[in-house]
Chain A
Amino acid sequence: MGLDVDSRNCPNFCHARSPTGLEIERSTKQRKEPLRKKSLSNKYAAYYFAGLPIILPFRRRNYGLLAIIVFPAEAMFALLVVDWFPLWLSLRVAAIATVCVLALGTLLAYLLSHKTFRGKHLIDSLITLPLVLPPTVLGYYLLVIAGRASPFGHIYEAIFGQPLVFTWQAAVVAAFLHSAPIYIKAATAVLETVDYRFEWAAQSLGASEWRTFWRVTLPLAWRGLSSLAALSFARSLGDFGVTIMVAGNIPDQTQTLSVAIYDAVESGDGALARMLVLVVSVLALALLWPAAYLSRRNRPATNV
């Protein structure tokens, strides 16, 4: 709190304010929540105080091309002062969701690519459904199915001692729904490209289907599947619609990266929003670039 007061005394503080003036509202809101530890404007103020107002003259103007220099510079500052909780939460949520997608999705993809059974096309369509439905619809379904009043919600609460909705675990479910359909679709295609002759040869040599899968099918498909794993991790980072419906926007609890960006933009915290957008973009690119290398020679060696 003290810092806030200090920053008011600082003649430079007005420069740190965003053009819309929403920053002021934010800081007044924060004053009502004394438990909120980190506030961006606080920290900026601290840094300006600390004698680093080098970029300040630029902030008043239309940056033009200088933005190329100014934004990264600002980002460097922000790296030190931003509340990173949403990033860690997103990474954790995405990691758990990806593990679930890999386990469940690979199983489903194997069944879809290798088996014929009744209702296969129905399951196929159900898997595609989350891709085409609006996130709000999915979120609504989840709230109905897993809400505290629902049977599933009761069971969950009985087992884990807390409700699923509006916890970060709900964000995992949302991220799972966001990335599973694409993973399953693509993994089915990848597993289909594994030459059936290798699998037949393995089985005629006496290997069980399980052994054939682990020792033959999976090693032959791992390039494609691992690039898909990177893709689904990147995609899990990015869910917004379902997350905000089932996990909400509770700072320091369920606020994932994409929700934090929304929040920052809504509250006019342009610097934070830019920072987080940059982080998400770089992270996604860093994931997809190697994945592209993996999927480049995705085609399994059919001609030995």
Chain B
Amino acid sequence: MSTDARLIKRLPAIADTDSFELNVHLRAEAGITVLFGPSGAGKSLILNCLGGFARPDEGRILVNDRLFFDAATHVHLPPRDRRCGYIFQDHALFPHMTVRENLWFAAASRSSVDGRLNRHRRINELLEAFELTELAGRKPVQLSGGQKQRAALARTLVNEPSLLLLDEPARGLDARLRESFYEMLRRTHEQVRVPVLLVTHDLDECFELADSVCLIENGRFTQSGSRDSVFKRPANTEIARSLGIYNILPAEIIALDPSRNLSRLRVFEFELEGPYFPGHLIGDSGYICVPSSEVHVRPDAGRRTPNNLVFRVIAQAASPRGVRLQFERGVVAIVAESEYKILKGNDRLAIEFPASSIYFVGK
């Protein structure tokens, strides 16, 4: 169960859009792979190439050892022969058919499920599994958002796809529906063991679902790997910045102690203690990345405490996860509402960077 796609696709400049080149090498294993990046980075184009709706200029697509596309030998399977379950942002349930007819369309379109009886059985199983039996006679307009999602997922599973492609499936849904959709997707993935390729520009969605992540920027992968390796160890400050969860401060390594797994860093006029950074030397200058949610903020006691940096607050804003404090030099901290009550009124605050959450990135 693996996907290996090397894709090069050039889009010429048309009217007011600039020319664009997609050049990626995607390797996805059986889990959920998330393509994460801003709009216009080429995420959907990758899905379209895999699904057969766009033809790459160069490259090769192999899914489970089946050749979908090969530029050199002019192989280009049409979408119907690729057995990719494609789920669109708005589900694309056929509006003129009932839920059952939608599933029946899928079953009757592919010869993999033979015989009317088997098809009916398969459809009934899926309707049952996705709690759609009572809704089978309804048209999509009569369904709620969550029911539509279930129906769309059930429809793609009728033909036992070899790969699920999801294009921003949870966009435009409220938080509750999102949660249930993630839950359903994970459960489906557990049961069917089908590799999933999901495109999103939503960080939470990426974090929640991904087994592995490919960060994509302007048609190229900037970093890919398991979720933790990407999010905990961004390869450079650009990536860390684009994730938007880090405080990034210039730093210099002044001491390294591999035996005690310790290091000392100079950040502005402060000294910080961090873990040992393999592959870096004393005197290296670079940046430290510390997630905004992992710093601790307390009133400035006046005396120097280890790993505490004192900064002036310049702005604060309420957010669903707590109060977002903006400090000078671009430092951001997110504190709970209750903590914020204690901090309120103080101009200067001490910010503790826990040693374990400091990550050093070379220049």
Evaluate whether A205 and B51 lie within 8 angstroms (CB atoms) in the complex, with A198-B94, A216-B94 already known: no
Question: Shortest Cβ distance from B166 into chain A, in angstroms?
Answer: 12
B92 with A211: CB separation less than 8 A: no
Q: Which listed segment binds A: B102-110, B246-254, B261-269, B335-343? A: B102-110
CB pair A220–B96 under 8 Å, yes or no, is: yes
Interface size on A, residues (CB 8 A): 22
Give the contacting residue for A197; candidates B88, B112, B141; CB below 8 A. Answer: B88
A302 CA to B92 CA, complexed, in Å: 8
- The docked-state distance in angstroms from the alpha carbon of A201 to that of B140 is 15
The answer to the question of B224 belonging to the interface, with a C-beta cut-off of 8 Å to chain A, is no
B275: A residues at CB distance < 8 A: none
Q: Which of B79-87, B285-293, B320-328 contacts A (4 or more CB under 8 A)?
A: B79-87
Chain B residues numbered 139-187 whose CB sits less than 8 Å from any CB in chain A: 140-141, 148, 155-156, 158-159, 165
Whether the pair A206, B92 counts as a contact (CB closer than 8 A) is no
Q: Chain A residues near B306 (CB, 8 Å)?
A: none
Nearest CB of chain A from residue B160's CB, rounded to whole Å: 11
Residue-wise, chain A 186-215 has the 8 Å CB interface mask toward B (1 for contact) of 000000000101101111111110010001
- From A197, A205, A220, A300, give the contact of B105 (CB < 8 A): A205
For B148, list chain A residues within 8 Å (CB): 304
Give Cα A304 to B151, complex, Å.
Answer: 12
Complex contacts, B38 vs chain A, CB 8 Å: none
Which A207-261 residues have a C-beta within 8 angstroms of B?
Answer: 207-208, 211, 215-216, 219-220
**A55 contacts chain B at the CB level, 8 A cutoff:** no
Contact B82 A204, beta carbon cutoff 8 Å: yes
User: Which residue of the partner chain, among B53, B79, B90, B159, contacts A304 with CB atoms under 8 Å?
Assistant: B90
Shortest distance in angstroms between B149's beta carbon and chain A's nearest beta carbon? 11
- Determine whether the beta carbon of A206 is less than 8 Å from that of B83: yes
| Count of chain B residues with a beta carbon within 8 Å of a chain A beta carbon | 33
A303 beta carbon closer than 8 Å to chain B = yes
By the criterion CB–CB under 8 Å, are A206 and B110 in contact?
Answer: yes
A111 CB → nearest B CB, Å: 17
A301 at the A/B interface (Cβ < 8 Å)? yes
**Assembly CA distance A215 to B101 (angstroms):** 11
Contact yes or no, A200 B53, CB < 8 A: yes
Output the residue of A195, A200, A206, A303 with the most chain B CB within 10 A: A206
Within 8 Å CB of B244, what residues of A? Answer: none
| Distance in angstroms between the alpha carbons of A300 and B92 in the assembled complex | 12
Whether B109 and A304, one on each chain, are in contact in the complex, defined by CB atoms closer than 8 angstroms, is no
Question: Which residues from chain B contact A207 at a C-beta distance below 8 Å?
Answer: 80, 105, 109
B95 at the interface (CB under 8 A from A): yes
Bound-complex Cα distance A304 to B85 (A): 19
**Which residue in chain B gives the minimum CB-CB distance to A196?**
B53
**B40 CB within 8 Å of chain A:** no
Establish whether residues A200 and B79, one from each chain, have CB atoms under 8 Å apart when the complex forms: yes
Which of A201, A206, A219 contacts B96 (CB under 8 A)? A219
Judge whether B91 is part of the interface by a CB distance below 8 angstroms: yes
* Contact between chains at A197 and B90 (CB < 8 Å): yes
Cβ contacts under 8 Å, B158 to chain A:
205
In the complex the two chains form, is A204's CB within 8 Å of B96's CB? no
Q: Which residues of A contact B155 (CB under 8 A)?
A: 205
Inter-chain contact A204/B95, CB cutoff 8 Å: no
B196 at the interface (CB under 8 A from A): no
Given known contacts A204-B86, A204-B165, A304-B140, what 9 new A-B pairs fall within 8 Å (CB)? A200-B53, A201-B86, A201-B88, A202-B109, A204-B51, A205-B159, A206-B110, A215-B105, A304-B148
Closest 4 CB pairs of A and B: A206-B110, A207-B109, A204-B86, A206-B109
A residues contacting B by CB (< 8 A) are 195, 197-198, 200-208, 211, 215-216, 219-220, 300-304
Interface residues of B (CB under 8 A from A): 51-53, 78-86, 88, 90-96, 105-106, 109-110, 112, 140-141, 148, 155-156, 158-159, 165
Return 17 A-B CB contacts under 8 Å, by A number: A195-B92, A198-B92, A200-B53, A200-B88, A201-B86, A202-B94, A202-B105, A203-B52, A203-B78, A205-B109, A205-B158, A206-B110, A215-B105, A220-B95, A301-B95, A301-B141, A304-B92
